[in-house]
Amino acid sequence: MTASIYDVAKRAGVSISTVSRILNNSANVSDKKVQAVKEAMEYYQYEPNQFGRGLVKQRSNMIGVYTPFHSGSVFESSYTLELLKGIERVLTRHNYSMVLISESEEYSNRVKGSPRFMEYVRQRRIDGLLLSGLNGKSMDEEALKQILDEEYPVVYIGKKFHKKGINVYAQYESYMHQMIETLYADGHRKIVLYFYTTHENYLAGIVKKAEEELEELELIPIALSHITDIRPDLIADFRKYVIGGGCTAICSPGIETTQIILSVCGELRLSVPETVSILSVEHKSGEGRRLFPQISAFFVPAKDMGSGAAELLLDMIEDCPLEETSREYETKFFDRESIRQL
């Protein structure tokens, strides 16, 4: 058994309240006792038991990070990874730690009828929740609304969908539209638009707007799973649309997909940008520059978004009044000449 506050108090010849006061800087204690207590703490390598402390404070200093199952393992895409890096950084600095909450593969959401993060919230394992990858279709949103209504500290990454709650986002529809416009302006008329299923509910709007505004445009939207191996599908797509279908440009929703696209192009002897133009989203600055050939991209500052979300969440937890209820991040375009002017 590790030492408790009693052991420290006994060795230092003081009462446990004195030790507690020193631990929490909650009152003045005479220098002599401080010394004695510090000695005892080092002697035992004492650290306050978090169960005892938590029972009183109802605080764990842990933040839950949740991504629904349909968006794949958190560890899959460079987008979520950058988010995590940003989150990690802020939390570490504020002495919080990160608990990854994942839906188990087998039961998916159905174990208790509500998403996993609810357990953590109700059990008070976490002081707040960061969410990403909601797509409005699972039951996760129901649960989320419920805790938002209870004023539980939550920040979600994605578009606002409920009056309460703080969110952090980049204008997905807007930069997707810009991608299409950019290609259109260079003369491309038949474009394959890859997207992750996480964003499928935005898609109809994007397609509609693009086809309305850009008259001759023919858009071929194709969903990508985060879960299966997409390479064979891509090869089929390229055969059908690029080699056989007159399609001249591809939009990729992330660099990991772009890499596969490039290897597919290599295998099919399609040169970039001569035969096919490629435009990508990147979530880590400069990712597109590290490919060969370099790929033009819209940079979405995922790491900053993660940090921002974490900061807002910690502010909520520490009861700092928040001025903003929503924070938008700007994307930035990097032209690396992977688009051919037609």
Closest to DNA by CB, 35 or 225: 35
Virtual CA dihedral for 258, 67, 70, 332, nearest 10 degrees?
A: -30
Which of DNA, a second copy, none does residue 29 bind (CB under 5 to 8 Å by kind)? DNA
Which of DNA, a second copy, none does residue 286 bind (CB under 5 to 8 Å by kind)? a second copy
Which of DNA, a second copy, none does residue 326 bind (CB under 5 to 8 Å by kind)? none
Give contact residues for a second copy (rule: CB under 8 A). 2, 45-52, 54-55, 58, 60, 62, 73-75, 81-82, 84-85, 88-89, 92-93, 97-106, 118-120, 122-125, 229, 231, 259-260, 262-267, 286, 290-293
Closest to DNA by CB, 13 or 205: 13
CB of 229 to a second copy, least distance (A): 8
Which of DNA, a second copy, none does residue 23 bind (CB under 5 to 8 Å by kind)? DNA
Which of DNA, a second copy, none does residue 6 bind (CB under 5 to 8 Å by kind)? DNA
Residue 5 as a binder of DNA (CB under 7 A): the answer is yes
28, 298, 14: which is closest to 171 by C-alpha?
A: 298
Q: Which of 43, 52, 204, 231 binds DNA (CB under 7 A)?
A: 52
Which of DNA, a second copy, none does residue 85 bind (CB under 5 to 8 Å by kind)? a second copy
Residue 4 as a binder of DNA (CB under 7 A): the answer is yes
- Where do we find the tokens 């009152």? 27
Total chain residues near DNA (CB under 7 A)? 31
Q: Which of 17, 92, 97, 326 binds DNA (CB under 7 A)?
A: 17
CB of 56 to a second copy, least distance (A): 8
Segment interacting with DNA (CB under 7 A) among 27-35, 80-88, 173-181, 196-204: 27-35
